[in-house]
Amino acid sequence: MADVLGDKNPDAREEIEEGYEKAADDAKITERQGETINERLESLDEVLGDKVPVKERHMIGSFTRGR
């Protein structure tokens, strides 16, 4: 990013960096959302039991951001 903006406009660079940081913070899930996801995964394990064995579990998407 520094190569694009250079040192000619430090205010623009700072504004872009702040915008990026805000967007990253806004993408994080709350503690409650994380608990809900974990509860749902546990429910699936209980319902499926031995009928569908799980070899590996991969969580993708916003749940894994910021962890």
The confidence score (pLDDT) of residue 21 equals: 93
- Please, what's the largest Cα pairwise distance for the chain? 63
Neighbours of 16 (CB within 10 A): 14
Under 8 Å between Cβ of 27 and 62:
yes
Q: Is the pLDDT of residue 45 over 90?
A: no
DSSP class of 49: T
Averaged pLDDT for residues 7-36: 87
Confidence at 56, pLDDT banded by 50, 70, 90:
confident
CA distance 37 to 14: 35
CA dihedral 22, 26, 27, 31 (to 10 degrees): 130
pLDDT at residue 19 is higher than 90: yes
| pTM of the full structure | 0.49
